[in-house]
């Protein structure tokens, strides 16, 4: 049987950094985190990514500076692609890294492209005929592991959630309204359908901005109204940054995933993934 061909660097130049899963990034960190005089490390990589002295000093304080630099670069730089990362490592003459992780990166990129090709079209409310019934010819609806309830101000954390839960070995399928639902649909109708019938769980991203969002308030209260045991069965609140205002009282009886707790950050995403699949 013929071996599957590897992707070239030119092809990877159009693939975003989100394609790289956590294991590949961790492998990069093992090479670049150690402070050594014989090989270029993460600080030179950060300089090549145009980070300044003060920014690099701030990254130094973190337990995994390589991982932090990669994540920040991915969010801030439109040129942050897999191909560009390989180009920078070659410029740094880290051929040892390239030899070791290129097969991992190649595998990640192929999985990313395959998943992109299989992504379903954005969701739309099923067609309703003149008698009020649902059109039986409508496409079979897509189902999800979790509906993500969030306000627009918290989109960066939601993007990190997508990266950690969809693009890693967890391979979960999240319903993110701005990405998965077509503009022009009835907000209340499609949201109710998704939460009640097409999403196994619901993740609520709690913040001060969430408290001011009528959409988030509706989604949370609707999920809680679905019946006895709905709180324990369906909702998973996440507090991802410090809040100035009291935690919402309607969620006070549900265990919260606290991303602000430094003691659990190491296993936060694995713990959340497990909660979404049980």
Which residues, in sequence order, are CB contacts of 232 under 8 Å at separation 6+?
254
Q: How far is CA 14 from CA 68, 72, 159, 179, in A?
A: 22, 18, 19, 20
Rounded Cα gap, residues 195 and 130, in angstroms: 25
pLDDT one-digit tens code per residue, 169-223: 888 999 998 888 776 667 777 888 888 888 889 999 999 999 999 888 888 888 8
What's residue 269's pLDDT?
Answer: 92
| Domains in the chain: boundaries | 9-118, 144-277
- The pTM of the full predicted model, rounded to 2 decimals, is 0.53
Q: In a 3-state reduction of DSSP, which class is residue 106?
A: helix
| Homologous superfamily assigned to 144-277 | Toll/interleukin-1 receptor homology (TIR) domain (3.40.50.10140)
What's residue 49's pLDDT?
Answer: 92
Let me know how long the chain is: 278
| Homologous superfamily assigned to 9-118 | Death Domain, Fas (1.10.533.10)
What's residue 253's pLDDT?
Answer: 80
Task: Give the residues of the chain that fall short of pLDDT 70.
Answer: 1-9, 37, 116-141, 183-185, 227-233
Rounded Cα gap, residues 108 and 23, in angstroms: 10
What is the residue whose two structure tokens read 């009835």?
A: 186
**Biggest CA-to-CA distance, the chain:** 76
Rounded Cα gap, residues 184 and 125, in angstroms: 10
């Amino acid at each position: 049987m013929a071996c599957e061909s590897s992707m070239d660097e030119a092809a990877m130049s159009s693939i975003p950094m989100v394609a790289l899963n956590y294991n590949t990034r961790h492998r990069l960190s093992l090479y670049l985190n150690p402070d050594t005089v014989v090989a270029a490390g993460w600080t030179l990589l950060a300089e090549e990514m145009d980070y300044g002295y003060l920014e690099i000093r701030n990254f130094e304080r973190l337990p995994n500076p390589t991982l932090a630099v990669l994540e920040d670069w991915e969010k801030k730089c439109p040129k942050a692609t897999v191909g560009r990362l390989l180009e920078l490592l070659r410029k740094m003459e880290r051929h040892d890294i390239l030899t070791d992780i290129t097969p991992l990166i190649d595998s990640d990129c192929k999985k990313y492209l395959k998943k992109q090709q299989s992504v379903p079209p954005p969701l739309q409310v099923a067609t309703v005929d003149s008698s009020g019934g649902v059109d039986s010819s409508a496409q079979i609806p897509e189902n999800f592991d979790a509906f993500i309830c969030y306000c627009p101000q918290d989109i960066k954390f939601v993007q990190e959630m997508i990266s950690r839960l969809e693009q890693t070995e967890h391979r979960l399928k999240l319903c993110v309204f701005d990405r998965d639902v077509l503009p022009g649909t009835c907000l209340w109708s499609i949201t109710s359908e998704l939460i009640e019938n097409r999403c196994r769980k619901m993740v609520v991203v709690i913040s001060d901005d969430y408290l001011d969002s009528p959409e988030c308030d509706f989604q949370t209260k609707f999920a809680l109204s679905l019946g006895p045991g709905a709180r324990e069965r369906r909702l998973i609140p996440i507090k991802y940054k410090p809040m100035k205002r009291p935690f919402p009282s309607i969620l006070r009886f549900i265990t919260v995933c606290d991303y602000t707790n430094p003691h659990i950050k190491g296993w936060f995403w694995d713990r959340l993934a497990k909660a979404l699949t049980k």
